[in-house]
A and B are shown apart, each in its own frame.
Chain A
Amino acid sequence: MTGQAFFVLTALADGPRHGYGIVGEVAELSGGRVKLKIGGLYGVLDRLAAEGLIEPDREEAHDGRLRRYYRLTRDGRGALAEEAELRAATARVVRVRLGLAGAEAAG
């Protein structure tokens, strides 16, 4: 799973969001490191939708325009949990190898 896909799925973890809402949430989640452009966002969204990890939730009228909201599917939730576990395990190994884990426990 690419970093962008991971952030997009995480942005949808606590509820449905529309396109620009996802952009904002990803920027916040990543501390401003990941700034999705619209072409990049929809490149990720269409792939995740094709893989069955997200799906349209609803459409809402907003200033004369329909906003489409997206939500995680059950498979998307499972894939995100699995990826989060994998990344957390990797991070734990890195911290141990850098000697940070012991220092943290002692602190």
Chain B
Amino acid sequence: MSGNSGNSGNLERRYRRVLRLLPGYYREQWEEDMIGAFLDGWLTGDPETDEYISRVAWPGWAEVTSVAGLAARLYLGGAGTPRRYFAWGQAVRRAVLAAVLVHAVLGLDVLVQTAWNRRLFGLPAPPAILWAASPGGVWFTVFYGVNVVWIVIFVALVLGHYQTARVLAVLAVVPGLVASLQAQLTGSMPAPFASWAFWVPLTLVPVLAMAAFHAAAPPPARWPWLLALPAGELLVVVPLLALQATGNFAWVPDFPGQCCLLAALACLAHAPRAWSRRAAGPGAWSLALVLLAAVAAVYRVASLTVYLHDPHLIAVGLGELLILGTAAALIAPDAARAQAATPPPPPVPHPIAA
């Protein structure tokens, strides 16, 4: 076993800087212990060697990554973490589930439309206005595949198979990245999801935020989330299709606009609960909806760049942003209070310890 010979100064300082990634309450409890364990792994007990090691050695990337992973788990807290971090953890987990739900509903819609176009299960022919021949090709095959995978990712997250969901999500992110890069380099749009404005806020950010689904995170409410998938298809996609089928296409906002209006509706529906002091624990939902509103706003602003030639569409987009901002402002105070008001659950005891 190596020992600390008092010549650890520089190396210790460098590791302390890495540990600043961790929340203060955690450092108070564990920092000295972690530094001791870290230095034990480096120092030899020989003053000259230790002086040299301390001068030239740095915490490696694997070490820094392990501390960053721990920091993500603590800031996006689960059972046993302070209220503030638990509220953020719950809010991010719900926002991620909602974002993945959007992908899953799109995936379900792709399946439904494919079945309808091919008249499977005895379905009648779709109205001519809705019938779209698949352009075919590799990218559209990938597009269908990725959309279906998002349904699996959503169900895996809801059922608590976090590792499976994360692995599939990383795979689902890649085609969008490649397609966006190709669109960037060639100036052509090879796939329907080849847009940075879509890929970054609606795909990459939620996948990164899946770090909030860790072992200490309380499981999501299964049935409400699972039912949200067919409900999203019936309550959102079917009415939009009906508008299109009846020739009212002009009334249908573009997809970023739909995201803004959906997030605004969710904020408005939640506002009475957020204002009611009797309702228990709505704060994490308020925080989650404000996060979703922020993501929708970023998506809307980024996607407006394609309308720069059309002042009318820019005005529509700004109107959607105004509605979204107003709705989010109604629940923002409750979201701010959530950090102090959301009680974390106690640590989950091991079955033996219960």
- A residues near B, CB below 8 A? 1-2, 18-21, 23-24, 37-43, 46-47, 50-53, 62-68, 73, 75, 78-79, 82
Contacts and interface: CB of A to CB of B under 8 A. Distances in A.
Interface residues of B, number: 40
A60 B204 CA distance: 46
A75 B350 contact: yes
Contact of A23 (B6, B37, B353): B37
Q: Which of A24, A46, A62 counts the most chain B CB atoms within 10 A?
A: A46
A2 B353 contact: no
Given A51-B347, A63-B5, A75 B353 contact: yes
Nearest to A81: B352
15 contacts: A20-B38, A20-B41, A24-B1, A37-B63, A38-B38, A38-B63, A40-B70, A42-B37, A43-B70, A47-B347, A50-B79, A52-B353, A53-B350, A68-B33, A75-B352
Classify the secondary structure of A's interface with B.
helix
B247 interface: no
A51 B352 CA distance: 10
Contact of A53 (B33, B41, B215, B353): B353
Nearest to B31: A42
A24 B66 CA distance: 17
Given A42-B70, A52-B349, A2 B215 contact: yes
B1 A39 contact: no
B272 interface: no
A11 B228 CA distance: 45
Nearest to A51: B350
A40 B215 contact: no
B11 to A, nearest CB: 13
A32 to B, nearest CB: 15
A19 B352 contact: no
B215 A39 contact: no
Contacts of B3: 62-63
B4 A63 contact: yes
Given A46-B30, A64-B6, A65-B4, A37 B66 contact: yes
Contacts of A19: 33-34, 36-37, 40
